[in-house]
Structure formats: structure tokens, C-alpha cells
Structure 1
Amino acid sequence: MSNLHVSPAAFKVAAFYKFADFSGFLRLKPDLAEFCCARGIRGTIILADEGINGTVAGTAEAIDALVDHLNETFPLQGAELKFSQAEAMPFLRMKVRVKEEIVTLRAPEVKPSEAVGTYVAAEDWNALIGREDVVLLDTRNDYEAELGTFEGAIDPHTRSFVEFKDFVARNLDPERDRKVAMFCTGGIRCEKASAYLLSKGFEEVFHLKGGILKYLETVPKEESRWQGECFVFDERVSVTHGLAEGDATLCRGCRRPLTAADRAHPDYREGVCCAHCADAPRSGARERQRQIEIASARGERHMGDEAAAHAQENLEKKKARRQASQDAAKAPVSDGGNS
């Protein structure tokens, strides 16, 4: 597994998962939590009988040590493992959780460790989804697909992955839909979704290996069929081509990702609500924001909301990055001294 070089000022982010029989390793939860906390690593690792799933961040040295530790403790060989970087720590704390599933579908008959669809490498994805006989399916939730998706993809409009089963029952037919290609953020949901379709009689099921993140890392922007930004479940909020941090921010009222257009909506209020949740009762969010503003006016730090302060820091960095990009675009181009 290759390591991604990052500058000393950046945080290295590792996303990994593997479906396998991990039932004998669940007792190691305390050791894994202690290992991460001792090295300043933050994020979430989920352990279940069906496998391991995690996204964590820390210094390059700490993340490299964790990968080595996992390889000694768990059979990570063959796991999906991706590295990226973040300008600021994208997680607030470290959590190691034991759950029934590493990605919840509530279909116990589905076992991705035994059978999944056909993997398609990022560099081969464009050719597959360009075919007219292929049904292209986004297996993520509605708010993720709204931020960005592949050209021509079907959005199932699910609010949780569990609803994917109902979408399949209502909209797909193995006799009609002979070839189904699907994608998700990092590949994990597609592993389970493809296994589910196979169990329902679909014969040709394909999924993007490494997910959208691998595609954005691998495929040049000028050749890309990806539109928008890719939502990620940390304080970066979104990434774009080359896995650079995107411009999306989170609504602190409903936790939906927001584009620049969303933030320009009359119903948007920073730290409180957006157009999606403006009509919902948000007294807690409003009071929290009021206290933050009071503390700011007094020159004090609002101690009750580290998450909001962390998000605000990231937002300011994104604003500065956008401004720098705009200034660079307006700057006159030097002719190198030639008239």
C-alpha cells in the first residue's frame, strides 16, 4: 500500500474498508482506540462481524503507524485504502464503534465477502457508463447526489442506505435492466449494493472500484464525467478533482452540504439554518449561534461549541482560498518583458 506524501502542515486522511470475517477481532476495540488516541489520530473506525470501515486523520507519521498496526492486527491485505490530505484536522474526536454492520442495509442474506459485482477501475469507468445499454445508479443519499454526481446517473432519492432495497423493488427489473453500473463515495456501499442485486437475480452488475474518490484522484479533470463536488463525512465537507477540498459548507441546522448558491438564498443564516430547514424549529441552533455571536463581540471564545468554531475556521479558509483564486484570475498576465 503506497503512502501519499503531504506537507508537514497538512493532515493525512486515510479511508479504508474491507468485508471479511472479523468476529474474532471485536475484542480489540480498546487497543485500537488507545493506539489512535495516543498518536493524536481522530475520526471513526467501525468494527462488525462482516468487516472494518474507517476514516481517520492525523500526522503522516501517525497514519502510517496506524496502517502498519492494522496490517498486523487485521487482515487488511486486499482492503480498499485511500489517502488524501486536509489543511485542518477534519474530525473533532476519535471513535471506535462496534456495530451489527459496517454499512447498514439490514439484509442479512447479503454477504459481500462471498460475492459482489464486477469491479471497474477508475480509468475504465467512462467507457462503461457511456454505453446506452447500461443503467447508471448513484447509491448514495439524496443530499450527496444533489452536491455532485456522474453525468446521466439515476438518483434514487434515498434518505438512508436502507431505503435502497425499496428503490430496487419499485424501479429495477433483472429481466429489463440487464447491465447495472453503480457508484458511491469510497466503494463500500456499492460492494453491498452489488451483492444485494446479485441476490435478486441481476446478472451483470458493475461498481466503481475505490468509488468517486478514486475516480477524482485518478481521472484528469478534462476527461472527467463527474459534475459538481463529492460530499465527504468530515469537516472538509466536499472534495473535487485531485481530492482538493471543495467549496461546500455544512448547514449547522440540518447538516446538509451547501453550495455557494445555497448560501446566497434569502433563508440561509450562517450557523443556524438554510432553505432546506428554515421552516423547521431550530431553537437550539439559533440559541447556539446567538451565544457564539455574543462571545465574539466580547472577544471571548464560545466554549460550548467546539464543532461550530472548527467549522467556522474551515469556512474562513475556504473563503480565503476562493478570494485568492478570484484575485489570481483578475491579475494581468505578464508578457515576460516582450512588447
Structure 2
Amino acid sequence: MSILNISAYRFVSLDDLPALRERVLAQCHALELKGTILLAPEGINLFLAAPREAIETFMAWLRQDSRFAGLQAKESLSDGAPFKRMRVRLKKEIITLRQPAIRPEGGRAPAVDAATLKRWLDQGHDDQGRHVVLLDTRNAYETDVGMFPQAVDYRIASFTELPAALAADQARYRDKTVVSYCTGGIRCEKAVLHMQDAGMENVYQLEGGILKYFEEVGGVHWRGECFVFDERGAVDKALSPAPIQPPALSSGRLEGSPVGEGELYT
């Protein structure tokens, strides 16, 4: 497999979006990258595909900007680039929740790494003896492809539906440890900040999301594959492409766009 696929995000205040977009797009074109980058006042979210040397050159260039110095990427390989073109888009949010009181660029949500979550699931409780509840923050068509089988799945059609679902179900989480998860970390981080704002305690995000969990512990306790928003359709526990059946792939298209051309999630 000759193409490196990376996903990364960082919540950080950005106030020079039009000029930043032009610089980023020019560098991507110069290196012949394909994928999508979202820029918003709250940060950056990206999926890119290219030979490894081109990706590493771009990331080194991007990290020269101190705002992106700590940007960490999740990696997977494929035989070809799963994107048709390169786009850099300006958005109001890099992941849309429509909860303006939530300011993720102001500070990270509490997190657990993959090894810790695996250990908690192995032993059936966290290190304080509390029952662990997994919360899937993704959309229903994603959870149909694969998920932690014991996780709460609200069957939402959009991330913006999650706050209402949580508000109607808070008793489920009382006196428990809650770990939210998503594909690459961005939705579960924002979800935890919302849960904290709503007064929920002992809430964590899965650091790096499902992709990092697959990378670090091999997907133990996971069932199925992981939906991704590009032409691969999904990846398996080894982070190899795992094409999904057309009905599931079709249901994952965003606003009538082909997979990989809709809004970028992680």
C-alpha cells in the first residue's frame, strides 16, 4: 500500500482564516495532496492522502505555525488516494454542534487513552470501581458499520441531535464513568465538554477516537469495522480498507455528496 492517509484535528483559536486558507491550499497543491481541510475560528480538522514523503513534508510545514505545533495525526494505508481532489474550506465550526457556550479551544476535555479503556473494559469497571458506560457520539449509519456492542447508541442522524438525547437520558449516567468515542476524537471531545457544561460528572473522551484505539490495542472489544468519510468506506481493526455494502455507503452520503466530498468528520 503506497498511500498514507492521515486524520488530525486541533481546537485552537484562529483569526486569520482567509489568508490561512490560501497558504494551506497552495502548499497542498504544491505537494499534490488530496483530501479535505476544514478551518474555523475554533481550529483545524483534516483528512489527507498522498505518498508518505509528501504528507510528512506538509505536516512539518504546518507545524511551523505555533498554533499547530502539537498537531498529532492518526495514520492508515491504502493502495490509492480515497479522495478525488483537494479542498480547504472555511466553516463556523470544525465539527458542528451549535452550542455556542462550548469553547473547546479554551481547554481540552478529560481523556483516557486506548490502553486504559481496554483495561477498564477487561475488568468491567474503572480504577475507582465505577461502572463504565460507553457513549457512541456518531451517526446511526456509522454505528451500523461497527461499534462497541455495549455502547449507548442514540441512533442520531446528526451530531447536533446529541445534546437533546443526553438531556432526556441523564439518569442513565448517574454515579458511573462515561467514556465518549467517535472516529478520530473531535466529536467525542466536544461531546464531553457539553456533558460537563450540563453538569455531568466523571466524563471522558477516548483519546484519538476509534482509529487510535485500533492502532494501539488492535480493536479489542470492538465489533465490525469503522466507517470513514472517504472512498474506502470503512477500515478494519488493522486499519486496512474494508469496503462496505452500497446501501450502507449510500446512507452515509452527506447532503447528496459522494463519500469523501461531504462535511469532514473524525
TM-score normalized by the length of structure 1: 0.69
Gap change, CA 1:175 and 1:161, over 3 Å in 2: closer
Deviates more, 1:92-101 or 1:237-246: 237-246
Aligned to 1:11: 3
Displaced runs of 4 or more, over 3 A: 249-257
1:75-116 per-residue CA deviation (whole Å, 9 max, x = no partner) reads 223334112111111001110000000000000100112344
Could you tell me which of 10, 35, 50 is aligned with 1:43?
35
Deviation sequence 1:279-337 (CA, Å, 0-9, x none): xxxxx9xxxxxxxxxxxxxxxxxxxxxx79xxxxxxxxxxxxxxxxxxxxxxxxxxxxx
Contact 1:237 1:250 in 2 (8 A): no
Q: What is the total number of aligned residue pairs between the two structures?
A: 251
Structure 1 gaps, min length 5:
1-6, 258-283, 285-306, 309-339
Counterparts of 1:121 and 1:253, CA distance in 2: 29
Q: Given the two structures, how large is their TM-score scaled by the length of structure 2?
A: 0.87
Partners of 1:197 and 1:26 in 2: CA distance: 32
What displacement does 1:250 show?
A: 4.0
* Match status 1:70 vs 2:62: yes
Equivalence for 1:102: 94
Does structure 2 conserve the Cα–Cα contact (< 8 Å) formed by 1:148 and 1:230? yes
More helix by percentage: 1
In the alignment, structure 2 segments of 5+ residues that lack a partner are 260-266
1:168-187 → structure 2 map (5 Å cutoff)? 168-173=166-171, 176-187=174-185
Pair 128,112 (structure 1): closer, same or farther in 2 beyond 3 Å = farther
Quote the Cα distance in structure 2 between the aligned partners of 1:230 and 1:15.
14
Cα pair 1:43 1:57 within 8 Å, conserved? yes
Q: CA deviation at 1:135?
A: 1.9
- Aligned equivalent of 2:164: 166
The sequence identity of aligned pairs, in percent, is 38
Distance 1:106 1:12 in 2: 33
Identify the residue that residue 111 of structure 1 maps to in structure 2. Answer: 103
User: Which structure has the larger Rg over C-alpha atoms?
Assistant: 1
The residue number in structure 1 matching 2:234 is 238
Letter paired with 2:117: W
Change over 3 Å in CA distance of 1:79–1:172 after alignment to 2? farther
Whole-Å Cα distance in 2 between the matches of residues 84 and 209 of structure 1?
17
Q: 2:35·2:83 contact (CA, 8 Å) conserved in 1?
A: yes
Shift, 1:49, TM fit:
0.5
AA in 1 matched with 2:221: R
- Measure, in 1, the Cα distance between the counterparts of 2:230 and 2:171: 36
RMSD across aligned C-alpha pairs, in angstroms? 2.4
- Asked whether the 8 Å contact 2:145–2:226 carries over to 1, the reply is yes
Measured after TM superposition, the shift of residue 31 of structure 1 is: 1.7
Residues 80-159 of structure 1 mapped to structure 2, 5 A cutoff: 80-129=72-121, 130-131=124-125, 133-159=131-157
**Higher mean C-alpha displacement, 27-36 vs 103-112:** 27-36
Return 79-88 or 111-120, whichever deviates more. 111-120
Query: Is contact 1:174–1:201 with CA below 8 Å preserved after alignment?
Result: no
Supply the distance in 2 between the matched residues of 1:133 and 1:100 (Cα, whole angstroms).
37
